[in-house]
Structure 1
Amino acid sequence: MLRISLEQWRMFIMVAEHGGFNQAAQAIYKSQSSIHNAVQKIEHSLGVKLFRVEGRKTLLTDAGELVLRRANYLLQEAARVEQVGHTLAEGIESRLRIAVDEIFPHPLLYKALENTSQQYPLLRIELMESILTGAKELLENAEADIAVSPVVQKELFNEELCQIEFVAVACPQHPLLQLGRELNLEDLKSYRQIVVRDSAHHNRHDEGWLGANQRWTVSHMRTSIDMIKQGLGFAWLPLTSILEDLTQGRLQRLPLCSGASRKVSLYLLFSDADKLGPAARTFLGELRYQSIDLPTSADL
Structure 2
Amino acid sequence: MARSTLEQWRMFKAVAEHGGFHQAAEVVYKSQSTIHHAVHKLEQTLDVQLFQVEGRKTLLTAAGEQLLRRINFLLTEAERMENVALNLKAGVESRLSIAVDEAFPRDLLYQTLAAVSAEYPLIRIELLETILSGANELLSQGKAEIAVSPFTLPDNLSEDLCQIEFVAVAGPQHPLTQPRRELTLEELKNCRQIVLRDSAQQQKKDVGWLGSEQRWTVSHVATSIELLRKNLGFAWLPRHAVQPFLDNGELLPLLLPRGSSRTFTFYLNFNDADTLGPVARSFIGHLRYLTSL
Name the TM tier (shorter chain).
over 0.9
Deviation for aligned residue 1:182: 1.0
After TM superposition, what 4+ stretches of structure 1 lie above 6 angstroms from structure 2? none
Q: 2:32: which partner in 1?
A: 32
| AA in 1 matched with 2:107 | P
Q: Which runs of 5+ in 1 are unaligned?
A: 294-300
- Write the mapping of 1:160-239 to structure 2, written as runs, cut at 5 A: 160-239=160-239
Within 2, Cα distance between the matches of 1:181 and 1:221?
A: 26
Q: Is 1:17 the equivalent of 2:17?
A: yes
- Structure 1 contact 99–147 (Cα < 8 Å) conserved: yes
- Structure 1 contact 184–258 (Cα < 8 Å) conserved: no
- Write the mapping of 1:1-300 to structure 2, written as runs, cut at 5 A: 3-292=3-292
* Alignment RMSD (CA, Å): 1.7
Within 1, Cα distance between the matches of 2:153 and 2:81?
A: 40
Within 2, Cα distance between the matches of 1:193 and 1:233?
A: 5
SS in 2 for 1:236: strand
Within 1, Cα distance between the matches of 2:249 and 2:279?
A: 41
Within 2, Cα distance between the matches of 1:119 and 1:26?
A: 31
Deviation for aligned residue 1:29: 4.1
Give the paired residue count. Answer: 293
Identity %: 59
SS in 2 for 1:129: strand
Within 2, Cα distance between the matches of 1:174 and 1:194?
A: 13
Deviation for aligned residue 1:147: 0.5
| AA in 2 matched with 1:159 | E
Deviation for aligned residue 1:3: 4.9
Deviation for aligned residue 1:175: 1.5
Within 1, Cα distance between the matches of 2:181 and 2:25?
A: 83
SS in 1 for 2:173: coil
Deviation for aligned residue 1:203: 1.6
| AA in 1 matched with 2:61 | T
SS in 2 for 1:39: helix
| AA in 1 matched with 2:215 | R
Larger mean CA deviation between 173-182 and 215-224 belongs to 173-182
Within 2, Cα distance between the matches of 1:32 and 1:180?
A: 83
- Structure 1 contact 196–220 (Cα < 8 Å) conserved: yes
| AA in 2 matched with 1:256 | L
Within 1, Cα distance between the matches of 2:34 and 2:101?
A: 59
Within 2, Cα distance between the matches of 1:26 and 1:131?
A: 58
SS in 2 for 1:175: coil
Q: Deviations over 1:152-191 (max 9, x none)?
A: 2332331111111000011122111113321122221111
Q: 1:297: which partner in 2?
A: none
Within 1, Cα distance between the matches of 2:4 and 2:158?
A: 54
Q: TM-score, normalised by structure 1?
A: 0.92
